[in-house]
Amino acid sequence: MEKQPISKNLASDKPKTIDKYFNAAIKMQASDLHLKGEELPRLRVKGQLRQTTGEGIPEAALQEMIFDILSPEQRDFFLNHGALDFAYDFGATDRFRVNIYRQRGKIALAARRVTSIIPPFESLNLPAVVEKIAEYHQGLVLVTGVTGCGKSTTIASMLNHINQIRSCHILTVEDPIEFVYQDDKALISQREVGIDVPDFDDALRSLMREDPDVILIGEMRDFTTLRAGLKAAETGHLVFATLHSTDAYQTITRILDLTPQEERHMIRQALVGNLRAVLSQRLLPTIRSDVPRVPAVEILLVNASARKLIAEGREVDLPTVIKSSYGDGMVDFNESLRILVDTEFIDLKTAYAYTNNPDELKMVLKGIRTGSSGILG
């Protein structure tokens, strides 16, 4: 199968016609730009897709604008395959991960904005323990949740904290790159799949030869990625990764689901020795005008009790460890919802809409905490 041309296209000194749409996305702080022949451009702002004002772009004009920023090799690939991914660097602070594709025989463009403005912990309203997790020097840290729950933003803040306090080499493997880091105390190398390296497998094979101290694997999507992350953690590195799971218990089961049956005992033991923390989050709408969304989180810090449960295949009991360790920085979703209600980020209606256990939440809001084996205090 023919591979896509791997390249980064640079906005030239002479502005291109299409640049005005990228500029509009930056000005509106949009996450995504969509262009389609004969239609008004659309921008995704705060999660909502919005039409711009003005007139639709004629199909022929849109194709000419897009082809104007492509190399001859990219143009040929698109004409032969009907789709193309590339990165478009736009000044010192912004770049776009662009996909052009055909729909109903016509050209269309979807561009994801990648920014170097990384929000600090305090602006994300995350628990203070997240900063301490970022200061670990070894082990695997997983940030989990559904698509669009802020996993990448949380990890970006953690990595940038490391960048500000520690002299080390941070290496990321991402698909796509979502934040652009500026070297501070750390040296940061960002490799984008499809742009800087053909695929994840190639990136993972060369990982250890690049002398990293801290590693970000964008997503643990299969056993190869999982095994590479655990191997890096075993050899003394701090490894961050994301996973599509909703809590600590489901994270362990999801990892085992990715693992062939004959390898599961080995992976379970690797988790016992190297998993340091699981941070699961959901983004909730707030009642505050200055903060549109806020994360509700579950945080498991893998202590001796958690390691024992994972080793014995009793990860279903991990919520009990969390409930009995609030003083150590752990928190479950209902306790997180209580905190958000008490600090007036969300109202009771929102808290009950997002909880998985309304009866328990009702008790938590009254100051009663329960575990799976009874009341803890």
pLDDT band at 373 (very low <50, low <70, confident <90, very high): very low
Q: How far apart are CA 62 and CA 68, in angstroms?
A: 10
More confident call, 241 vs 89? 241
Instruction: Give the per-residue pLDDT at 374.
Output: 42
pLDDT band at 377 (very low <50, low <70, confident <90, very high): very low
Superfamily in which the 121-375 domain is placed by CATH: P-loop containing nucleotide triphosphate hydrolases (3.40.50.300)
Instruction: Give the per-residue pLDDT at 184.
Output: 96
**Each residue of 41-82: pLDDT tens digit?**
999 987 789 999 888 999 999 999 999 999 999 999 999 999
pLDDT band at 83 (very low <50, low <70, confident <90, very high): very high
State the average pLDDT over residues 178-207. Answer: 89
pLDDT band at 108 (very low <50, low <70, confident <90, very high): very high
Q: How far is CA 127 from CA 110, 142, 155, in A?
A: 34, 16, 14
Domain ranges for the chain: 8-115, 121-375
- pTM for the complete prediction? 0.82
- For the domain spanning 8-115, the CATH number is 3.30.450.90
Instruction: Give the per-residue pLDDT at 160.
Output: 96
In the numeric block, which tokens belong to residue 55?
């007139």
Residue 372: pLDDT over 50? no
Check: CB of residue 155 under 8 Å from CB of residue 124.
no
**Each residue of 349-369: pLDDT tens digit?**
999 999 999 999 999 999 887
Instruction: Give the per-residue pLDDT at 195.
Output: 77
Instruction: Give the per-residue pLDDT at 175.
Output: 80
> Whose structure tokens read 């789709």?
83
Instruction: Give the per-residue pLDDT at 13.
Output: 57
pLDDT band at 85 (very low <50, low <70, confident <90, very high): confident
**Range from 12-16, 65-69, 149-153, 258-262 carrying the lowest mean pLDDT:** 12-16
Q: What DSSP line would sit under 78-95, residue for residue?
A: HHHHSEEEEEEEETTTEE
Instruction: Give the per-residue pLDDT at 194.
Output: 76
What percent of the chain clears pLDDT 70, i.e. is strictly above it? 94
Check: CB of residue 24 under 8 Å from CB of residue 52.
yes
**Each residue of 266-319: pLDDT tens digit?**
999 999 999 999 999 999 999 998 888 899 999 999 999 999 999 999 999 999
State the average pLDDT over residues 113-125. Answer: 85
Instruction: Give the per-residue pLDDT at 8.
Output: 57
Burial call 192-205: b when 16+ CB within 10 Å, e when fewer: bbbbbbeebeebbe
